[in-house]
Amino acid sequence: MRRLCVMLAAAMVTTCLAQDESPSARNVPLTNPGFETGQMPAQWDYHMPPAGGNASRCLDPVRTGQASLRIEDPGPGIGIGVRSALLPAKPGVEYTSAAWVWTDNNAGSVYVEFFNKHKGRITEKHVNPKEKLNWHRLSVSQVAPPDTAYVSALAYTLNGASGTGCYDDWELREADVVIQMPNAGFEEPRGGVAGWQLLRGDAGCVTTTGAEAHSGDAALLLGASSTRLLVAAEPVAVDPGGTCRVRWWAKGTGRDVRVLAIFLGPGGEELWRNGVAARGEPQRWTQRTFSAEVPRGCITARVALQAEPGEAAVYVDDVAL
């Protein structure tokens, strides 16, 4: 259910959306997303010949319909991947790859991949299962980089994984054009926060970690602190009079994090800020969004994360503007 938070500031409206409520996301026509046809499911194929193990359409376990995709990984050192057909994509657009996964160990990663016009892979982003799953939905989002011409979904068992992974009811979704933000997934450098600036608080309380991540290999950790923490991304250009939609994933408990959009003028002066407070859930990653109108005279905007004093750790990942 959409929640409207009306703010009487410069006659602007902020809209807060819960996970999966984005009104602008559209399904990309992924063929055979439920793996119902073909021995190797139709319109899906190995992304490279496997060195061991196998992948095939299977009849048990199944989440919906009559079949799913099953990948058997005999052990560490062998990675097996099955890729969808390549579909047309646009640079600067956010794509989400989501599938329901069953696994008896840790085999069952979900990828979104981007390719250039020559069908050479530019980059990818993925999410890994942390434990056994009984049909749990895994999703990963990424903004298509420059030179993107195609997007695909990839089911993969990492080299360090083993066991059986089954996939069903795959979705590939396309959102609106997203402004490229620096280090939005906090991947580089490990232990640092490139592209972000600490504006308030103890620098030792703000770092990146590989222990928790919504996607990729790292997330931002806002650690225990006796003072308020405020960290902001580098400013990016925005369209005056347009609308900014801020998205982020959070995990944690017992501590509020306020996510802000800070709008700046030609000289870097702050014109206006808006945001919402959100408390992450302890056992799972939760996405939240809010939208705010860009004030006239604004040239750039930056996203900021503000954590109140507290002992509980808060994790943030995949921030988008």
Please give the Cα distance from 49 to 143 (Å, whole number).
Answer: 28
**Amino acid letter for position 52:** G
Looking at the structure, tell me whether residues 263 and 191 fall in a common domain. yes
Looking at the structure, tell me whether residues 173 and 214 fall in a common domain. no
Higher pLDDT, 204 or 115: 115
**Amino acid letter for position 181:** M
**Cβ atoms of 4 and 16 closer than 8 Å:** yes
**What are residue 98's DSSP bridge partners?**
139, 171
Looking at the structure, tell me whether residues 186 and 119 fall in a common domain. no
Predicted confidence at residue 23, as pLDDT, reads 41
Please give the Cα distance from 50 to 46 (Å, whole number).
Answer: 8
Average pLDDT of span 194-223: 85
Predicted confidence at residue 224, as pLDDT, reads 83
Predicted confidence at residue 203, as pLDDT, reads 82
Looking at the structure, tell me whether residues 95 and 138 fall in a common domain. yes
Looking at the structure, tell me whether residues 222 and 158 fall in a common domain. no
Q: Tokens in use for 115? A: 């390719």
Please give the Cα distance from 256 to 203 (Å, whole number).
Answer: 19
3-class SS at 216? coil
Looking at the structure, tell me whether residues 172 and 206 fall in a common domain. no
pLDDT digits (tens, 9 = 90+) for 77-134: 777 889 999 999 988 888 999 999 999 887 889 999 999 999 999 999 999 887 888 9
CATH assignment at residue 122? 2.60.120.260
Predicted confidence at residue 136, as pLDDT, reads 92
Looking at the structure, tell me whether residues 60 and 158 fall in a common domain. yes
Q: Tokens in use for 52? A: 């061991």
Please give the Cα distance from 5 to 18 (Å, whole number).
Answer: 13
Please give the Cα distance from 136 to 231 (Å, whole number).
Answer: 32
Predicted confidence at residue 14, as pLDDT, reads 37
String of DSSP letters for 57-81: EESSS-SSSS-EEEEEE-STT--EE
Looking at the structure, tell me whether residues 64 and 171 fall in a common domain. yes
pLDDT digits (tens, 9 = 90+) for 65-92: 999 999 988 777 777 889 999 999 988 8
Please give the Cα distance from 97 to 91 (Å, whole number).
Answer: 16
**What are residue 206's DSSP bridge partners?**
222
In the listed set 149, 177, 205, which residue is the last one of a domain according to the structure? Answer: 177
